[in-house]
Amino acid sequence: MSSATSLPPNTKKPGRVRGFWQRVTDGLAIQELWGQFKSEAVEGYAHYSKDVDWDSVNKDQSKFKRWLRSAWALFQAMLMKLSPARRVLLLVAVFFIFIEPEYHQGHQTITVDTHGLSAIILFVLLALELADRVTMKRDLEIAREIQQWLVPSAPPQIPGIDIAFATRPQNTVAGDYYDAFLRQMPGVTPDSAALLVVVADVAGKSVPAALLMATFQSGLRALSSTPATLSEVVTGLDRYARAHSLEGRRFTTAFLAEIDPRTREMRYTNCGHNDPILRRASGQIERLAVGGPPLGLPLFTDDEIAYGSADVQLMPGDLLFIFTDGVVEAVNEKGEEFNESRLLGSISATASGTAAEILSRTMRDVNEFVGYARQHDDITALVLRVS
């Protein structure tokens, strides 16, 4: 006879339930789940309400009628997002929720309970929509992998120059671009190659912006491998962006800087981008604004845009912070923006740290400020510190 003690059959059930709950909630606490749900609900309402003619809805004087018209308008907006076949299924499900068919058998009236049928139809619709979402997500994940090949996984190792960068897409793929590399030109040895630092932001989000970001990267890499000056590189990028900007609807803001690693002299051009922050070792703040308009804007003359440039001497202890507008325009649940004053505060709080420490502190401050609010734009930042 075995000496092992038998456990009651239901002993393991609580563990299984807890394991299932952990998988479903991804380990989030109830408060975090509720905050996430509120954020998603607000985002979903904003998504559907864009298709509602609110002027027509609000014509009714009665509050109750306005409420009914609002609900009906939002339902129609949601309905039209489905394919025609799924619209019909959804209407059938809603019909059977509110109306139960009756038929007479002799003197007896029999009511058919169709709630179960409605639930099955709604479950099938949910399964179909989830299948589409999973397929689309898989394709986006592949696109994201390809996009990650276009940006550096690690900064170049250059004596006396510390670089760190980070990005957080609004969606699976992003329209932001960052890069830092030594220009490999014919006749130039690696020891004398200039360091090119770039941060760019394609107007728009998700897949269209990501595709144009890929073309920007290829154009930049091709031009930087030639003996072209920084001004000539920018002009070439503008010409290429204009040819693919869909009549100016897909322009690109960019900041490009070329640094001599030996002398630390930097020449830069700002193409309609957020002015980068140059924090001197003394604590003095300079903004790098010289340049011109965004790349890809339509021209109304035959002359190309003459982008300006400026020279800056970098000194030990100086800090260069380049960012896209998604950083300062990050919005919390109250609709408040992170703004540049908070950004400057984050940079100053760890100004003596490494590039990675400064970047980590800034991104953490943005995350804490935003909380559960949905991200509305890609967030990208590049930090360069001189030692």
> In this model, does residue 248 exceed pLDDT 60?
no
> In this model, does residue 129 exceed pLDDT 80?
yes
Query: Does residue 95 lie in a domain region?
Result: no
Nearest to 264 by CA among 311, 228, 200, 309: 311
Overall domain count for the chain: 1
Measure Cα distances from 217 to 110, 236, 284 in Å.
69, 12, 33
Q: Domain containing 247 — which CATH number? A: 3.60.40.10
What are the strands, taking DSSP E only, across the chain?
102-105, 108-111, 161-168, 176-182, 195-202, 252-259, 265-271, 277-279, 285-287, 291-292, 310-313, 319-323, 379-386
Query: Does residue 235 lie in a domain region?
Result: yes
Query: Does residue 66 lie in a domain region?
Result: no
> In this model, does residue 10 exceed pLDDT 70?
no
Higher pLDDT pick, 267 / 8: 267
Least confident span in 96-110, 148-162, 291-305: 96-110
Return the structure tokens found at 386. Answer: 């001189």
The mean per-residue pLDDT over the stretch 304-331 comes to 94
Report phi then psi at 61, rounded to 5. -80, -30
Query: Does residue 360 lie in a domain region?
Result: yes
Query: Does residue 336 lie in a domain region?
Result: yes
The boundaries of the domain holding residue 168 are 151-386
- The reported pLDDT for the residue numbered 286 is 97
Query: Does residue 281 lie in a domain region?
Result: yes
Highest mean pLDDT: which of 3-17, 115-129, 230-244, 311-325?
Answer: 311-325
Query: Does residue 110 lie in a domain region?
Result: no
Residues sharing a CB contact under 8 Å with residue 99, sequence separation 6 or more, in sequence order: none
Report phi then psi at 137, rounded to 5. -65, -40
- The reported pLDDT for the residue numbered 6 is 47
> In this model, does residue 14 exceed pLDDT 60?
no
Nearest to 81 by CA among 48, 34, 118, 127: 48
Query: Does residue 207 lie in a domain region?
Result: yes
Least confident span in 38-42, 149-153, 199-203, 327-331: 38-42
pTM of the model: 0.73
Highest mean pLDDT: which of 78-82, 229-233, 330-334?
Answer: 229-233
- The reported pLDDT for the residue numbered 214 is 84
